[in-house]
Chains A and B, each alone.
Chain A
Amino acid sequence: MKRRKFLETLGASAAGVAAFSCADREEAVRIGAQGVSDADLTWSKAPCRYCGTGCGVEVGVKEGRVVTVRGDVKSPVNRGLLCVKGYHLPGMLYGEDRLEYPMLRDGSGWKRISWDEALDLIASKYQEALDQHGPESVAIYGSGQWTVFDGYAASKWFRGGLRSNNVEPNARLCMASAVTGFMTQFQSDEPMGCYEDFEAGDDFVMWGNNMAEMHPVLFSRILANKRENPGVRIIDIATRRTPTTDYADMYVEFTPGSDLALANGILHLLLRNGQVDNAFVRENVIFKRGIEDLNRIGYGCWGEDGLATDHTAGPAEHYGFRDQARDSSLAELERFLRDYTPERVSEISGVPAGQIHQLAELYGDRGRGTVSLWCMGVNQHSRGTWMNNLITDLHLITGKISRPGANPFSLTGQPSACGTVREVGTLAHRLPADMVVMNAEHRAKAEEIWGLPAGTIPPRPGYHTMDMFRAFMRGDVKVMWTQTTNPWVSIPNLNRIRREPGDGKFLVVSDIYPTPSTEVADLVLPSAAWVEREGVFGNSERRTQHWHKAVEPPGEATEDAWQMIQVAKRMGMGHLFPWPEDDWHEPMYEEYRSFTLGLGKDVASYQQLKETRGMLWPVVNGVETRYRYAAGYDPYVTKRRGVHFYKAKGYGEKAAFWLRPYHPPAESPDEEYPFWLCTGRVLEHWHTGSMTRRVKQLYQAAPEGYVELNRADAQRLSVGSGQMVRVVSRRGSLELPAEVDGRGKPPQGSVFIPFFDESRMPNVLTLDAMDNISKEPDYKKCAVRIERV
C-alpha cells in the first residue's frame, strides 16, 4: 500500500471516530476502519448473470475487484430491486477454485499448458475429425448463458467455417418448446408482450410455474400490482404447492401431464359458453392440426428411432419425428373439443369440474386482462410444443393478445436464452432473426452477409442436444467442445452418458469452476465470467442489454468467444473474424445486427445499447417496441387499430390456432415405481449450482439436495425431515435426505428433487423422453419408488 493512501485512510478513520460507540470502535479497529464510501468505487451497469429476467445491476469495483452490487433503480426491469442471488453476485466470481489456466489431462491428473498449446491442440483435433469423418463428427455445445458474441462466433465458425450445423445450446433443455410454440403459431419467435404486462394485467395464470422462486423480481411486480389493486388475482396451476401458492388466489392441482387435457377443457367451455371473440378470430386466426397418432410420435427415449411407447423397446439412439400440418377450422375444433367435457377432463387431471369452469370464466371474461405465464413446467414436457400452443390458443380464441395486460408470456431461465440462442440462432437448425438452415433463401442471405461462397452452409440441421450426446457416446461425434454449461449434471438419464476419458474421443470444457463436466474432459479451459469481459444478453421480454468489462479475469482466463475465434484462425478461418484483436465486439455485433434489420426483429445499435438500460426489439429509428403486432405500438403494423401478425407470411399474416390433444406422459407411476418424480430449481441456486454454491450466503441458505415428500407418504414410510431415503427409478438410484412440509409440498404419490447439488444429481433418475417437436426433454415426469435407508 502506498504511504499516502494509508495516511488518507487513517485520516478518514480519525475523522469518523467521534461517531463510534466503544464496541463499534473495537470492530472498526478489527476491520481496519477504512471508511469506504462511494467515492472509492467505480460503478458500471450490467444485467444480472443468472436468470432470463435480466435485472439491471450496478457493479461496484474497488482496486480491480467487484466488491458490491446494487439494484439499478433506472432499469425498467427491476427498478432497483434484486433477488437474493442478484444481491450476492460478487461472491460468485471469487470462489477459491476458479479455473485460471488451460489444463490438459495427463494420465490420472492434469498438467498446465499454455494457451498456444491448448488452441493448437483443439484446432488439430477438429481438423483431424473433419478430415477423417466429415463435418458431422465435430460439435460445439454452448448455452443460454453464452453472450451474443459467443453464440454468434460459434454459429458463424461452425456453419460458415467447419460447414457443420452441430451447434447446440443447453437451452434445448430449457425453452426449445417455447421456440417451436411461437414459431408454429406466429412464424416468429418470442413473446408479443413485455414486463409492463405485470402492472397492466388483472389475472395472472401460472401454468406449472413457481414464479416466486424462479423469477422473484417479476413476481414482486405482480405482487405490487396486487397491493395497489386488490382485484388482481394470481392463479397457480401446478403439480405441487410452492412459495408461489402462498400468494395465489386459486390453487389448481393437476396430475402431471394432464395440463394438456385441462387447457382443452377450458377451450371446450369457452366455445360452449359462447365466449369466443368471433370478430378477432375471423380477422386474425387460422386453424391447424398436426399428427396426433401416439404410435407415430413416441417419446424419443425408447426404440431405435424413439417411436416406441414403452420401456421394453430399449433405449433410443435417434429421434427425428417431424410434425405435418394440415388446415383445420373452427367447426372442426368444436367437434375435436367434444371429448374434453369438464367431467372427462376432471377424470384425467384430477382438477374438480368447478375449477375448470372458473378458469373458463376467467379466460372468457372480456373485461379483464389475462396474462398466462409459463416456464419449465410447460417447456420440459413430452408434449411441450403442444402445451405452448394450447396456452396461446386460449388467448387467440378470446382475442386477449398483443395488448397491455393481455398476453401469453413465456419466461426464460437463462440470461440470454432469448438474446443468443433464439435471436442469434444457436440451435442446430437456426440462423439469426428467425431464419433456418433448411431454407435456401435463408442460407443464401447468411452466406451473403458472411461473405461466403453459395452452398457453404449445409442444409441439414445438426444433432439436437439429446441426439448429440447419444452420438458422442456412440462415437459418431469425435470432438465436442462445451462452454458455459454443465451437461454432466444437467442432461437427463445421466447414466447413459457416463464417460471415461481415453475413449478415443476428445472433449474440451470451458468453464469458470471445476464441475462434474470438467472432471470428464480431456482439456479444460478457464473462462472469463460476467463483468470480467464485455457482453450483450437478451432477456425474456426482448430486451437487449450491454455491459462493459469492469474487472480483469483471474489468471489466464479469457472470454469464450475469443477462445473460438483463436481456434478458427488456427484452422485457416480467420476471414470469418476480420476485426482488430483489440476492437471486435462492436463490429461483430453490428454485422449480426444487419441480419435483423427490416424484419421486425431489429435489435438496437451498439451505441444505443451502451447508452441505455437495454432496448426492446424491434427497435426502429431508435424507438423500442413494447407490444409486438399491436397497432399503435409496433412500427411494422400499419393498421390503425387491432393487431396484425405480419410475420406469419405462410399463414396469410394470421396467427395459427393449433388443435392439440391429450397424450399420457412417457412413464407414469405403477406398482413397482409408485411415485411421480419432478425435478427443478430453488430460489437460492441457479441451475447446477456451480456458481451459486460458491457464494457463502446462498450455500448456507440451501446447502444440499433433498427430496420433498408429502407428509402422509413420509408417515407411511416412517421417515421424517432430514432422514435419508433412497429414490429408485428404472435408470438409477440416489440417496438423499427427505424434506417434509418444507418450501415445496408435493401431493401424495409425488416427490420433488432440486438439481443444484452436484453430489446428489436427480438426473441419474430422470427419463430422456422428449417433446416430439422441440426435442426438449421432460424433467418433470417419471416414475420412482422410495425406500428407507
Chain B
Amino acid sequence: MRRSHRARLTRRTLAGVALALLVGGCGGDTVPVPGREGAVKSAAAVRAERRAYDGAPPTIPHENFGARCTACHDAQGQSVTGVGFAPASPHDDTPRAGGTIRCRQCHVFVTTGESFVRSEYEPLEQDLRRGGRATPGAPPTIPHRTLMRENCVACHDGPGAREEIRTGHPERSRCRQCHVPVTGRETFDSELGDGVTEGRE
C-alpha cells in the first residue's frame, strides 16, 4: 500500500517548521546555478538536484564540449575559461587512467527538462549529518560511504569544495590514516551470516 501524499506533506511540513525554529534564518553558502545567470542555490540543493538519490552518480551539469572528460577533470581539477571550476574526479583511478576509463558509463548529460511520465519515485534523501568523534579532539569519522570515491580532496579541497566540508589541512595527503568510515557494514554478507536481509514473503 502506498502512503498518501497528504501524509507525507504534513510530516515534512512539521519537521520543516520544527527545524526552522531551531536553526533560524540565514543567508550563507550558495553556489551559482549553471546555465542560469545570477541564480544561486544552496550547495546541498544543487547536489540533490544532480542525483537520483543520495549515492547515485551525478548527471553532468554542463553541455557536451566534445572533449575527453579527463582533459578538465584531472587529478587536481582546474579552472576552465568561460565555464567555471572543473573539480577533480573523486575516483582514484581516473587521473592515471588516461584513455582507458569510460566516465559516461555512469554520468550522462541532461538534454531536456521534461519527463516521459511523472515519477512517483521517492529517493533516499541526502544525509547531511556530520561524522562523530570518538573523543573530543579526535579526528572526525567519515559519515558517508567511500565506495569508488577514494580521492577525498576532489570534494574536500579546492575551489570546488563546499566551504563547510573543506579540509583545513590539504597538505596531509593520506586522509584515511586518521579518518575512518563508520557507516556500519559496507555490504551485507550472507555467507558469513552478518546480516543478509531476507525479503518479506
B54-62, B75-83, B172-180 - the one binding chain A: B54-62
Contact of A83 among B12, B105, B198 (CB under 8 A): B105
Question: Which residue of A has the minimal Cβ distance to B29?
Answer: A21
Task: Please indicate the chain A residues that have their CB under 8 angstroms from the CB of B198 in the complex.
Answer: 44, 548
Residues of A within 8 A of B185 (CB): 38
> Taking the complex as formed, is B19 at the interface, i.e. its CB lies under 8 A from any CB of chain A?
yes
Instruction: Identify which of B121, B130, B164 gathers the most chain A CB atoms within 10 Å of its CB.
Output: B121
**A26, B105: Cβ atoms closer than 8 Å:** no
Q: Is A226 a contact of B100 with CB atoms below 8 Å?
A: yes
Known: A28-B19, A29-B23. A20 touches B128 (CB 8 A): yes
Is A14 within 8 A of B119, CB to CB?
no
CB-contact partner of B117 in A10, A97, A219, under 8 A: A97
B43→A24 contact, CB < 8 A: yes
Q: Tell me if B33 is interfacial: C-beta within 8 Å of chain A.
A: no
With a CB–CB cut-off of 8 A, which chain B residues contact A44? 188, 196-199
The answer on a CB contact under 8 Å between A16 and B128 is: yes
Q: Which residue of chain A has its CB nearest to the CB of B162? A: A21
Chain B count of residues within 8 A CB distance of the other chain: 89
Is the CB–CB distance between A223 and B101 below 8 Å?
yes
Instruction: A153 to B45: give the CA distance in the assembly, Å.
Output: 48
User: Per a CB cutoff under 8 Å, which of B10, B16, B53, B163 touches A68?
Assistant: B53
* A361 beta carbon closer than 8 Å to chain B: no
Interface string of B132-164 (1 = CB under 8 A from A): 000000000000010110000000000000111
Residues of A within 8 A of B169 (CB): none
CB of A63 within 8 Å of the partner chain: yes
* Stretch in contact with the other chain, from A344-352, A500-508, A566-574, A690-698: A690-698
Q: How far is the CA of A573 from the CA of B114 in the complex (A)?
A: 49
**Chain B's nearest CB lies how many Å from the CB of A581?**
12
Task: Say if the beta carbon of B167 comes within 8 Å of chain A.
Answer: no
A18 and B130 in contact, given A611-B190, A699-B116, A700-B111 (Cβ under 8 angstroms):
yes
Interface residues of B in 108-135 (CB under 8 A from A): 108-130
Q: How far is the CB of B19 from chain A (nearest CB, A)?
A: 5
Contact B27 A43 (CB under 8 A): no
A223-B100, A226-B100, A703-B112 known; A41+B15 contact, CB < 8 A: no
**In the complex, A218 Cα to B164 Cα: how many Å?**
38
Set of chain B residues within 8 Å of A720, measured between Cβ atoms: none
Question: A133 contacts which chain B residues (CB < 8 A)?
Answer: none
Q: Distance in Å from the Cβ of A614 to the closest Cβ of chain B?
A: 12
Indicate with 1 or 0, residue by residue over A607-627, a CB within 8 angstroms of chain B CB atoms.
000111000000000000000
A35 beta carbon closer than 8 Å to chain B: yes
Does A561 interact with chain B (Cβ within 8 Å)?
no
Contact among A1, A90, A219, A226 for B53, CB-based, below 8 A: A90
Shortest A607–chain B CB gap in Å is 11
B128: A residues at CB distance < 8 A: 16, 19-20, 24, 27-28, 33, 35
- Chain A's closest residue to B58 (CB) is A697
How many of A's residues come within 8 Å of B, CB to CB? 101
Q: Is B22 in contact with chain A by the CB < 8 A criterion?
A: yes
> Contacts of B1 on A, CB cut-off 8 Å?
64, 552
Q: Which of B20, B120, B123 has the most CB of A within 10 A?
A: B120
Q: Measured between alpha carbons, how far is A578 from B20 in the docked complex, in Å? A: 60
Distance of A27 Cα from B25 Cα, bound (Å) = 11
* A227-B97 in contact given A58-B188, A212-B105 (Cβ < 8 Å): yes
- Chain A residues 221 to 262 lying within 8 A of chain B, measured CB to CB, are 223-224, 226-227, 243, 246-247
CA of A699 to CA of B147 in the docked complex: distance in angstroms?
26
CB interface residues, A 127-172, toward B, < 8 Å: none
Q: How far is the CB of A136 from chain B (nearest CB, A)?
A: 39
Q: Which of A65, A74, A95, A696 contacts B187 (CB 8 A)?
A: A74
Residues of B within 8 A of A212 (CB): 102, 105
Residues 579-605 of A contacting B (Cβ, < 8 Å): 582
Residues from chain A with a CB closer than 8 A to the CB of B191 are 611-612
A82 within 8 A of B: yes
Is B36 interfacial (CB 8 A cutoff)?
A: no
Beyond A36-B127, A90-B121, A534-B201, whether A67 also contacts B53 by CB under 8 A is yes
Q: Which residues of A contact B86 (CB under 8 A)?
A: none
Chain A proximity of B83: nearest CB distance (Å)? 20
**Which of B43, B100, B102 contacts A243, CB < 8 Å?**
B102
Interface residues of B in 45-68 (CB under 8 A from A): 45, 48, 52-57, 59
With A83-B105, A243-B104, A548-B199 as known contacts, state yes or no: A12 contacts B129, CB within 8 Å: yes
Which residues does chain A contribute within 8 Å of B43, judged by CB atoms?
A: 21, 23-24
In the complex, what residues of A have CB within 8 A of residue B105's CB? Answer: 83-84, 212, 216-217, 219-220, 683
Contact check: which of A12, A23, A220 meets B44 at CB < 8 Å?
Answer: A23
A-B contact pairs, 16 of them (CB 8 A): A13-B18, A17-B23, A20-B128, A34-B15, A36-B125, A38-B184, A67-B123, A83-B106, A84-B108, A94-B119, A216-B105, A227-B96, A227-B100, A534-B201, A701-B108, A701-B109
Further 16 A-B residue pairs, CB within 8 A, beyond A223-B100, A700-B59: A17-B19, A23-B42, A32-B125, A44-B196, A67-B123, A70-B147, A74-B189, A81-B148, A82-B106, A90-B52, A94-B121, A96-B120, A224-B100, A243-B102, A683-B105, A699-B115
B interface residues with partner A (beta carbon < 8 Å): 1-3, 7, 10-12, 14-16, 18-20, 22-23, 25-30, 41-45, 48, 52-57, 59, 93, 96-97, 99-102, 104-130, 145, 147-148, 162-164, 183-191, 196-201
